[in-house]
Structure 1
Amino acid sequence: MRLHSFLLLFLLTAWAWGLDGEEGVEEEEEEEEAKAPEEASPGPPSDELLEEDNILVLTQHNFARALREHRYLLVEFYAPWCKHCKALAPEYAKAASLLKNESSELKLAKVDGPAEMKLVVEFGVTGYPVFKFFQDGNRSQPVEFTGPQEAESIVRWLKRRLGPAATQLETEAEARQLIDSQDLVVIGFFKDLQDEDMAVFLAIAKDAVDMTFGFTDRPELFQKYGVSQDTVVLFKKFDEGRADYPVDEELGLTQADLSHFLVVHSMHLVMEFNRQTSSKIFGARILNHLVLFINQTLTPHKELLTGFQEAAPPFRGEVLFVVVDVAGENDHVLQYFGMNATEAPTLRFINIDTTKKYLPTTEEITAASVTTFCQDVLSGKVKPQLRSQAIPPDWDQKPVKVLVGKNFEQVAFDESKNVFVKFYAPWCTHCKEMAQTWEDLAEKYKDHEDIIIAELDSTANELEAFTVRGFPTLKYFPAGPGRKVIEYKSARDLETFSKFLDNGGVLPEPEKSEVPIPEAGANNSKEHKDEL
């Protein structure tokens, strides 16, 4: 998201190998071969295990050996050109160093995906970097690591795989010691430790490496902490101090629901947006965000945090309260909201699924006004703000027509025209790469009265009809009634664009590849787009 966590996707580069040399080299080599005695044919590829920074370097030839020699193996599939992989490399090496003296049964390893496509296909790798955890030589069912890609988190995740994921508590002293030991402690109170709910609890504990887990079946601990039925309790050293998740007696404990509960309630009621917190903010799966823009260097601005904090509790889980410091490194956030720092202090409400943004009806920022603003947006009383640039005087004078929010509906849904629109961002690399092709397409069809080639800057213009989530997005609006929209997802070259238009918006058959090409980053969409 980048408002931090929006990610960039990269197109895999194919490498061509060339031979260097001068004329006559080939003939000289042939003469040398004629003079040399016949060499023995090479043997099978070596399965030797080599290391770099305490990390095994694996190929298709030594992979099986690594599984045999190490009971636990965490394997990173990476690409040399992947930006995320390069940034991760020091953390992965640090994790390997931390684990160096832990156990000979455990090892970190890496695979150069583009160079080892057989392994990529075998293990279903669709993006870089990807981590697969192998246990007891089981090659067919590796576990995917999806935790924070930081050295300490990787180590904690692995240790929970190797040892107990949660501590069994027998006494009040043990429970108190565990609760006091960390900011976030989760204790499962289960009357029957052999029940399926207990297994679900332990499965969650293995992955939630940013929390410490314990469990108990002792009646005195149920009584001590006011628990009468099977319950998962999150103890925290901030905000409410505690959050309870009673287990449904009929449905039991579900991993998805409990995981979501822990994510939501482990967050502070008011989260400050920065590089460290952004992934957690967007990973919470809370779609509604209320954002307070303030200058943290100004005392009157900081005093507004009290009312903002007071309004937050009733909206826990439904609206995430976020503070953005306009004096910090948050220019990209201001740009996304179409704001500048001088507008602070102010509020914005945004749904990150639809990207619809809402402005407050008053400049007052108090607990009461913040509560009313949230309630009005959620109930539909406040209409979303749709940004639009002014319509350029010469918007239709060039082959590529310039659309903005104010003229989009009139042009795109003109029933007498077939309109092909590129939705772009000025900073988008892929948009820049196809800019000339789009110009060439417009030039080619400029004399077709029923075809319009257009573009719209989606960072400065928002539409009510739909949301643009990635760049470039190409949409075709065919002539006729019904406001039909066709999203173009084929090749971005002049020939394919032309076939698409000449066929009345029918997508050409996509070229099929024998081997899927993984992309960089966590978003594995087949479209190569820069996202917000």
Structure 2
Amino acid sequence: MHFLQETEGGEDEGHELEHREGFGASAYPLLKVFRNGVDAGSYDGPRTTEGMVHYMKKRAGPDSVLLRTEEDLQAFVNNYDPSIVGFFPPDSAGLPEFLKAAALLREQFRFAHSVDPDLGRPYSLQQHGVLLFRPPRLSSRFEEDSVLFKDQVTVAALRRFIRDNLYGLCPHLTLENKDRLRVRDLLTVYYNLDYRLNPTGSKYWRNRVMKVVSRYSSRGLSFAVANKHDFLSELEEDFGLGMSESAELPLVTIQTRLGHKFTMREEFTRDGSSLERFLDDYFSGLLKRFIKSQSVPENNNSPVKVVVAESFEDVVNQPDKDVLVQFFSPRCPHCKKLSPVYTELAQQLYLDPNLIIAEMDATANDVPLGYDVQGFPTIYFAPAGKKDQPIRYEGTRELKDLVRFLKRESRRALVLNGVREEL
């Protein structure tokens, strides 16, 4: 298996076009994976050295490794990642379906199989079955090291089984798997976790966590542990936590699917009692959400009202006011270009008692739910009486188009330069 990297700058324009058409390149750099000289698709894994090596190792060799001996089995499951192993008689109807699943899912998971029934007997398998083996580094007395697949072997059923059981009670959150783990409400405990350089310390704190969270596993909250150095900027910028909090003790956060954030301010106790109190308060609704916010301005009388996360409810969500709010970044050149236009708009509408023109620095404040801000500037109109249905502005950044947008969306006539317009 090999990598091919295609970059811009061919010998001439025709040469570059030939490459684009041959590999379907629409952007650079393009990474392709080849298996035995055949294009196996574009590389879509992590762009770090360790991540790329890990990705390629998982894709080298067969879709499912044939295990012949107990030594083969132990060598395969003694891995940093989970392992899915099928045990089948040679003539089993389930084996072809298992191999089909391995071919389709090999980019995400590790598969192996055996046709020797004796290999499965230590795991209470008589004839056939599929087991998911969790990594030995995550072994804990609070959950089984392997999980038995009990349904009929089909690709869909195996995919569902792996999805539901892959991570277990308290997985290791990494930069590579964070998007998959964060699809649920997630409590994460961050500390100096490193299973390669500090396996003892890594297991110690995870066991302290699992002892507590095992009692809350049926409450709709997922759990994970993570290396806080990997997520340091996120802890500081999104949760107001950092290394200064404590160099040794874990830091704890909860982030929900709706974007609500909570932090444990009490020092993490080794007996887990502080974590237990934090969870009890969370499920009782007693925790105050953490909101990243600038200070509320003392004087806010300019035509463009400054909004921060802490004042968003009071300013933008006033039920009887229409509000046009711009989300910007101080470093964005497009925002700087829009600034005089937006200010002039606010000046012309300053005497309108029913309308507020506002702006918020989206890099220094949490953007409220319902506002999708992926780039800057992003402008929304929050109509009176319908604050839960903000309307995104998609027009040009010209004054006349902004005015036209407000006239169309507002249910009340605008007061423009002191004169009330007709509806």
Q: Do Structure 1 and Structure 2 share a fold, with TM-score over 0.5?
A: yes
1:167 and 2:70 aligned: no
> Which residue in 2 is equivalent to 1:408?
312
Distance 1:181 1:320 in 2: 19
Structure 2 matches for 1:475-490, cutoff 5 A? 475-483=379-387, 484-490=389-395
Assess if the C-alpha contact under 8 Å between 2:132 and 2:162 holds in 1: no
Equivalent in 238, 243, 264 of residue 167 of structure 2: 264
Aligned-residue offset at 1:337: 1.3
> Which residue in 2 is equivalent to 1:349?
253
Distance 2:216 2:26 in 1: 37
Residues 270-292 of structure 1, C-alpha deviations (whole Å, 9 max, x = no match): 55xxxxx4233344445334344
Assess if the C-alpha contact under 8 Å between 1:172 and 1:221 holds in 2: yes
When the two chains are superposed, the root-mean-square deviation of aligned CA atoms in Å is 4.6
Aligned-residue offset at 1:204: 1.8
Distance 1:442 1:371 in 2: 50
1:288 and 2:185 aligned: yes
Structure 2 matches for 1:137-286, cutoff 5 A? 143-149=41-47, 150=49, 151-153=52-54, 155-156=56-57, 159-160=60-61, 164-180=62-78, 184-191=82-89, 192=92, 193-205=94-106, 207-208=107-108, 212-227=110-125, 230-240=129-139, 242-249=145-152, 253-254=156-157, 256-258=159-161, 260-261=163-164, 264-265=167-168, 269=171, 271=173, 277-286=174-183
Aligned-residue offset at 1:402: 0.2
Equivalent in 334, 337, 354 of residue 436 of structure 1: 337
Distance 1:129 1:342 in 2: 38
> Which residue in 2 is equivalent to 1:385?
290
Assess if the C-alpha contact under 8 Å between 1:294 and 1:324 holds in 2: yes
Stretches of structure 1 that go unaligned for 5 or more consecutive residues are: 1-71, 81-108, 272-276, 507-532
Aligned-residue offset at 1:233: 2.3
Amino acid in the other structure paired with 2:245: E
Q: How many residue pairs get matched?
A: 381
SS in 2 for 1:290: strand
Distance 1:292 1:437 in 2: 42
Equivalent in 365, 368, 378 of residue 461 of structure 1: 365
Equivalent in 231, 236, 239 of residue 334 of structure 1: 236
**Which structure would you say has the larger RCO, counting Cα contacts within 8 Å and 6 or more residues apart?**
1
Distance 2:231 2:3 in 1: 35
Cα 1:112–1:384 change in 2 (3 A) is: farther
Assess if the C-alpha contact under 8 Å between 2:329 and 2:361 holds in 1: yes
Assess if the C-alpha contact under 8 Å between 1:168 and 1:215 holds in 2: yes
SS in 2 for 1:214: strand
Aligned-residue offset at 1:74: 6.1
SS in 2 for 1:438: helix
Aligned-residue offset at 1:157: 5.5
Stretches of structure 2 that go unaligned for 5 or more consecutive residues are: 194-200, 412-423
- What is the percentage of aligned positions where both structures have the same residue? 19
Cα 1:121–1:256 change in 2 (3 A) is: farther
TM-score (norm 2): 0.70
Amino acid in the other structure paired with 1:174: D
> Which residue in 1 is equivalent to 2:222?
318
Distance 2:274 2:345 in 1: 55
Cα 1:376–1:116 change in 2 (3 A) is: farther
> Which residue in 1 is equivalent to 2:416?
none
Distance 1:310 1:114 in 2: 61
Amino acid in the other structure paired with 1:434: C
Assess if the C-alpha contact under 8 Å between 1:289 and 1:322 holds in 2: no
Equivalent in 405, 408, 417 of residue 500 of structure 1: 405
Aligned-residue offset at 1:360: 3.6
SS in 2 for 1:238: helix
